[in-house]
Structure 1
Amino acid sequence: MQKIDLTGRVAVVTGSGRGLGRAYAEALARSGAGVVVNDLDADAAAEVVDAITAAGGSAVAEVCAVGTAAAADALVDRAVKEFGRLDVMCTNAGALRDRTLLKVTDEELDLVLDSHVRGTITCGRAAARRFREQGEGGRLILIGSPAGQLGGFGQTAYAASKAAIIALVRVWSVELAKIDVTVNAVIPKALTRMSATIPALTEIVAKVEAGEPVPADLRHEGTGTVEDVAPIIVYLSSPESAAVTGQYFSFGGDRFAIWAHPTESFVTHRDGGWTPEQLAADFAEYTQHLQHHRRRK
């Protein structure tokens, strides 16, 4: 099996000072890509750059909070200044605030929506403009979440943000096809500092951080280490993935899944339409087609 080689390609990974973003940046660099490491924490970003360069890779840090057009432009400009081009934009950065609808504040909404939604849009737009200028296509890899697909208690702002990102995949993959830019989303599951806040996973995360392996049943269900998710980022950044666009993939542990696009599950017609009373009469038939929400493993 031929190794994927990203030599000569350049990637920006937002929010790559630690966790999943760091794993993506390091994996891209190991495959030969030049990487712009982005984080709010200058020390964390510098540590990742040092680790990449010590391993023989190429990376630079750009410290900023994603969300504004200025930050997005700075990331693209840094890639071009340091490496001469841009081929991949991976929009991983974003904040999390665990709040139910009745408790979430405007400030928390602004933080989560700005970092995830506005950050993805501005970085995607800046990268697409550069791809068009270069005339050689490009890769947009957006990072989703199970919360955006299935919801999650206390995740009003976060789930809304991640669901919006999936909608962007559907729109951008059509809009940018004419300039050979692929757009896909990865929905990762991994044991991170964020997952450690889930009571059922707190002890497991601590054990894995101490060097123990991820339990086999958890890996089978799709939760492993951050390094387990990185291969799909490398693949989607490569020439080998040129025909793959408009998709969203669950990836983690020993599990890979392709999500279906939304579609109507039941359709009926009535000549002349419905009155409220007719709907009430007909709904006894319709209830068998209602979608019952449940979280999947």
Structure 2
Amino acid sequence: MNLTGKVAIVTGSGRGLGLAYARELAARGAAVVVNDVDAAVADEAVAAITAGGGRAVAVAAAVGSTETAKALVAAAVQNFGRLDILVTNAGVLRDKSLLKMTDEDFDLVINVHLRGTFTCVREAYAYFKENNVAGRIIAIGSPTGQRGNFGQTNYAAAKAGIVGMVRTWALEMKRAGVTANAVIPVAATAMTKTVPFFAKAVEAEEAGEAMPEFFRKELGFGTASDVAPLVAFLASDAASDVTGQAIGVGGDRLQLWSHPEAVATEYRDGGWSFEALAEQFGALFGDKLQSVGESFPELPAELQPEPAGTK
């Protein structure tokens, strides 16, 4: 698990989950290129890492373009002499239901999450191949990309697409000894702070207290520091035989997500006509239709959010 001598890029690492990943990698010996669209935030992250004895530099740029991808790889090579690890974490949200979502809302989220992952991975992999580096690609997905979520057409599309790309890259990069995996984190972030269901968990974290076990165990919901060790593990030599996987982590829970597989198969001589489908589909597949979205157990009474206006 020692990453001494390794060099990592972590996009969107000025704060939140990305910063937790960058700090974990640095604590295990890797030099880190920190990235954030806000230069002051990126510089603060670098200061925090170096204050803890780590090595880091900042690149302030919006992820998405090929130019930013090239700048990130160049920063790693110019400052630390090489590149071994890429963590694509940068993202934005523009949540709206379908009819309210604008072209701009959709394009921005796709550009940062999906295109940003594509351009950064392409640039990093080119470096790995040219320099015979058995590198590590760690792309950050989301439960929304696995299951869907109301009001997140753009985000769901991007995160599902990232997992699809990871599976493809695992095939393309195998011969070069490069691994590609997706991490599906479930943790307190700026987004979950606004969700009443998680209120008591977020309150506990902000107060420096342990989260109630219901969140950590039943929901697999925890802190950014619960997710970071998985990122470091996948970046290490210990995970050299792990590739093409979508791995969930949060709180006390670790999950290996399945790849999509057919849940039922039926054949009909001559193919399936409209009439045959109308007559037989319900009987064949009605009890096998798949659910959408995430479902949560009911919150215990003591963890229910307080009604608005009671504080």
Whether these two folds match at TM > 0.5 is: yes
Partner of 1:142: 139
Given the alignment of the two structures, is residue 270 of structure 1 paired with residue 268 of structure 2, yes or no?
A: yes
Partner of 1:249: 247
**How far apart, CA to CA, are the structure 2 residues paired with 1:295 and 1:23?**
25
Greater shift, 202-211 or 124-133, is seen at 202-211
Given the alignment of the two structures, is residue 21 of structure 1 paired with residue 4 of structure 2, yes or no?
A: no
Runs of 4+ more than 4 Å apart: none
**How far apart, CA to CA, are the structure 1 residues paired with 2:63 and 2:41?**
16
Q: TM-score, length-normalised on structure 2?
A: 0.92
Decide which of 210, 214, 228 is 2:211's aligned counterpart: 214
TM superposition shift of 1:294: 4.9
Other structure's SS at 2:182 match:
strand
Given the alignment of the two structures, is residue 130 of structure 1 paired with residue 127 of structure 2, yes or no?
A: yes
TM superposition shift of 1:136: 2.2
Question: What one-letter code is carried by the residue in structure 1 that aligns with 2:188?
Answer: L
Partner of 1:121: 118
Partner of 2:290: 291
TM superposition shift of 1:203: 4.8
Partner of 1:191: 188
Other structure's SS at 1:295 match:
coil
**How far apart, CA to CA, are the structure 2 residues paired with 1:78 and 1:294?**
40
Decide which of 154, 159, 166 is 2:163's aligned counterpart: 166
What is the root-mean-square deviation of aligned Cα atoms in Å?
1.1
Map of 1:3-82 to 2, 5 A cutoff? 4-82=1-79
**How far apart, CA to CA, are the structure 2 residues paired with 1:235 and 1:274?**
48
Partner of 1:201: 198
Q: Kindly, what percent of the aligned residue pairs are identical? A: 52
Relative to structure 1, the CA distance from residue 145 to residue 86 in structure 2 (aligned partners, 3 Å threshold; closer, same or farther) is: same
Other structure's SS at 1:102 match:
helix
Question: What one-letter code is carried by the residue in structure 2 that aligns with 1:79?
Answer: A
Give CA deviations for 1:226-284 in whole Å, capped at 9, x if unaligned.
11110001100101110000001110110000001111111111111122112111123
Relative to structure 1, the CA distance from residue 81 to residue 294 in structure 2 (aligned partners, 3 Å threshold; closer, same or farther) is: closer
TM superposition shift of 1:201: 2.1
Question: What one-letter code is carried by the residue in structure 2 that aligns with 1:104?
Answer: M
Give CA deviations for 1:31-58 in whole Å, capped at 9, x if unaligned.
0000000001111111111111111110
Question: What one-letter code is carried by the residue in structure 2 that aligns with 1:235?
Answer: F
Name stretches of at least 5 consecutive residues in structure 1 with no aligned partner: none
**How far apart, CA to CA, are the structure 2 residues paired with 1:255 and 1:290?**
27
Partner of 1:227: 225
Map of 1:94-105 to 2, 5 A cutoff? 94-105=91-102
Question: What one-letter code is carried by the residue in structure 1 that aligns with 2:155?
Answer: Y
Other structure's SS at 2:264 match:
coil
Give CA deviations for 1:166-207 in whole Å, capped at 9, x if unaligned.
101111100111111100000001111111021222453234
Partner of 2:236: 238
Other structure's SS at 2:99 match:
coil
**How far apart, CA to CA, are the structure 1 residues paired with 2:216 and 2:288?**
33
**How far apart, CA to CA, are the structure 1 residues paired with 2:179 and 2:46?**
27
Name stretches of at least 5 consecutive residues in structure 2 with no aligned partner: 297-311
Greater shift, 274-283 or 26-35, is seen at 274-283
TM superposition shift of 1:212: 2.0
